[in-house]
Amino acid sequence: MATTVVGSYPHSLKSLSSPLYLLKFNPSFSSGFVSFPSTRNQPRKSLVVRSVAAPVEAASGFDEMVSGTQRKYYMLGGKGGVGKTSCAASLAVKFANNGHPTLVVSTDPAHSLSDSFAQDLTGGTLIPVEGPYSPLFALEINPEKAREEFRSAGQKSGGTGIKDFMDGMGLGVLADQLGELKLGELLDTPPPGLDEAIAISKVMQFLESQEYNMFTRIVFDTAPTGHTLRLLSLPDFLDASIGKILKLRQKIASATSAIKSVFGQEDSHREDAADKLERLRERMIKVRELFRDTSSTEFVIVTIPTVMAISESSRLCASLKKESVPVKRLIVNQVIPPSASDCKFCAMKRKDQMRSLNMIQSDPELSSLMVIQAPLVDVEIRGVPALQFLGDIVWK
């Protein structure tokens, strides 16, 4: 059961998107509000916050999440429309305010990070977020831009455009293989799974590029369940596919080596291609190991208290466990708190939500997870001040 918590804390902000940022809660939910100072350099003020929050036993274990300077990855995912972006953005703000240089990445083709932070984060490049105490950057992976580059690459002279584009993603060797098979025309159309391939290439950059060395926390705002499961399974798929290609090439090479040796022909190009494939395979193994590393990676499931959402969360949890992806937290968002008012709709809705919440306790996949309840509020959570407020409720 949720309980009413009354407390106060000092608060100041580096940047505000409006002269006065006001979060007001419906009296039927709580009896107070939180407001934020209207200028950058005003002295800290003690603000009284009255809101509905999860009980102590449902704390998220944020102390564990924030401890240590080793880089950690947090992936938030679940059914569409449950509040994944707000939870991911609030976690990123919380990390940054606790001293961690943080990067929040959206892998969802339909991005919402810009809306959540009330700041233009489009363009597919690192953009600093205004407001948090420590560096916080956001990145919206732009699959549509990549698709357009993919199409235009096919129109370049000599047929080298697509290869150049895929080289930039670290996947150029796959274009080599298709080119040798005379299937280059298929590359005029972006292949299925390109969104996930681009996201995987970004994860490779996080592991290898100096540009991302400063970040000690990386938070992923993932796409709805189906896209995310494809993303997590892609390293295994590519590893297996590359392995089959290498075995096939080896068989063909051994069958033709005798003939080539008679004519004194060398096959250094094929050896180079095989080496590139092997290196790509090693990178895929690194990404796969990252997704499964319990010391540095965690998947947080976000849901809402409805039968459909919790059922899908149960299936997602089972799939994550099958892929050996660490998962131990479940956020139940939009929980209606108890009310003393005579709102019959609120009472019926809460009763229905309680039935759904009870499902979690008996679900074989979800019952072992740490359950975090996030209350339903009557305003949109937009901008760093609001995200910080949400983070203080959810991430304890």
Active site residues: 108
| Rounded CA separation 231/234 (Å) | 5
DSSP string, 8-66: EEEE--S--SSS-EEEE--TTT-S-EEEE-SSTTPPPEEEEEEEEE--GGG---HHHHH
Residue 372: what are its φ and ψ, rounded to 5°?
A: -120, 120
Query: Which secondary-structure segment (H or E) carries 198?
Result: helix 194-208
Rounded distance between C-alpha atoms, residue 70 and residue 86, angstroms: 25
Helices 307-322 & 344-362, crossing angle to 10 degrees?
Answer: 20
Residues of the chain by 3-state class (helix, strand, coil), percent to 5:
50, 20, 35
Residue with tokens 């709709």: 345
- Cβ contact 109:227 at 8 Å: yes
Closest CA to 281 of 227, 312, 236, 225: 236
DSSP label at residue 129: P
3-state secondary structure of 335: strand
Distance separating alpha carbons of residues 325 and 319, to the nearest angstrom: 9
Q: What is the C-alpha to C-alpha distance for residues 386 and 143, in angstroms, rounded to an integer? A: 29
For 158, residues 6+ apart whose C-beta sits below 8 A from its C-beta are none
